[in-house]
């Protein structure tokens, strides 16, 4: 078995453990969910612990679009720290940090608290040129730069934004190659409106208003 396939198998094994811990948003270190020891990337340096670190790419092979770094960062110290940057050594990828409140820039990790990066309502770390991330099934070096602890690095699994990882993946997901354009839906609506107008001219009352579908 190749090294890449072995890494892919390990990533698959870690799925259940990853989601259980990621779902414990901003939980304290005594939370019951943290008793589970995940098989994926985790590291502790001084007062900082980083757990469940992943690089989550586009769900479809060959699609160009952003990727994200997802992780839970714990601060066991008695003073707050800020996560000032995340880098991916060996690539030209850049990572944009945004706090849960929506402000771009450093993310504050409260004293004796934690922050979840990735997922709806949480802080985000978007790899804007996501195609520079490692291939799915491999591991990518990820370095977290904190205001007091300094650089904390680890190897994170690279997984697609599918199945359990979908809700933690990129919010922008381009259509896969060969798929039908989404513009076809409005076109059908236009024909429906024309048909309804024609019926109105013949004295028929409208049967109802058109509805539109709206991560």
What digits encode the pLDDT tens for the residues 199-213? 444 444 444 444 443
| 70-79, 93-102, 130-139, 184-193: the lowest-pLDDT one | 184-193
pLDDT at 137 (0 to 100): 74
In a domain, 62, yes or no: yes
Average pLDDT, the chain: 74
Q: Does the residue 122 lie in any domain?
A: yes
Question: What CATH number is given to the structural domain containing 46?
Answer: 2.60.40.1890
Confidence band for 177, pLDDT divided at 50, 70 and 90: low
Statement to judge: residues 133 and 47 lie in one domain: yes
**Phi, psi dihedrals of residue 44, rounded to the nearest 5°:** -125, 130
pLDDT value of residue 178: 59
Domain shared by 137 and 195, yes or no: no
Same domain, 27 and 125: yes
* pLDDT surpassing 50 at residue 194: no
Structural domain that includes position 189: 181-214
Same domain, 206 and 101: no
Whether 137 and 35 share a structural domain:
yes
Selection from 165, 143, 170, 1 nearest residue 73 by Cα: 143
User: Pick from 126, 128, 88, 84: which is nearest to 107 by CA?
Assistant: 84
- Do 125 and 58 lie in one domain? The reply is yes
Residue at 74 is within a domain:
yes
Phi, psi of 130 (to 5 degrees): -60, -25
Q: Which residue has the higher pLDDT, 73 or 25?
A: 73
Instruction: For residues 143-160, give the mean pLDDT.
Output: 96
Assigned domain for 173 exists: no
State whether residue 92 is helix, strand or coil. Answer: coil
Are 98 and 46 part of one and the same domain? yes
User: What is the number of domains present in the chain?
Assistant: 2
Same domain, yes or no, for 98 and 124?
A: yes
Q: Is residue 65 part of a domain?
A: yes
pLDDT digits (tens, 9 = 90+) for 101-115: 999 999 999 999 999
At residue 83, the pLDDT reads 98
Same domain, 98 and 188: no
- What region, left, alpha or beta, does residue 190 occupy, with left being phi > 0 and alpha being psi -120 to 50 degrees? alpha
Mean pLDDT of 132-146: 86
Q: Do residues 69 and 142 share a domain?
A: yes
Question: Would the pLDDT of 93 be above 50?
Answer: yes
What is the band of 179 on the pLDDT scale with cuts at 50, 70, 90?
low
Q: Are residues 9 and 88 in the same domain?
A: yes
Mean pLDDT to the nearest integer, 127-136: 79
pLDDT of residue 40: 64
86 and 142 in a single domain? The answer is yes
């Amino acid at each position: 078995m190749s090294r890449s396939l072995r890494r892919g198998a390990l990533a698959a094994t870690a799925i259940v453990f990853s989601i259980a811990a990621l779902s414990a948003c901003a939980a304290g270190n005594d939370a019951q969910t943290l008793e589970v020891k995940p098989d994926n990337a985790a590291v502790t340096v001084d007062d900082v612990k980083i757990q469940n670190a992943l690089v989550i790419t586009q769900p479809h092979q060959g699609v160009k679009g952003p990727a994200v770094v997802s992780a839970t960062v714990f601060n066991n110290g008695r003073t707050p720290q800020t996560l000032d940057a995340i880098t991916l050594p060996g690539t030209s990828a850049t990572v944009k940090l945004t706090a849960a409140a929506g402000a771009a820039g450093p993310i504050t990790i409260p004293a004796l608290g934690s922050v979840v990066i990735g997922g709806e309502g949480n802080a985000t770390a978007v790899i804007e040129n996501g195609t520079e991330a490692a291939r799915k099934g491999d591991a990518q070096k990820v370095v977290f730069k904190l205001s007091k602890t300094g650089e904390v690095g680890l190897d994170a699994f690279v997984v697609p934004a599918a199945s359990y990882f979908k809700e933690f993946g990129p919010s922008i997901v381009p259509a896969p190659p060969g798929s039908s354009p989404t513009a076809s839906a409005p076109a059908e609506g236009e024909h429906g409106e024309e048909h309804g107008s024609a019926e109105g001219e013949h004295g028929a009352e409208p049967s109802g208003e058109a509805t539109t579908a709206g991560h």
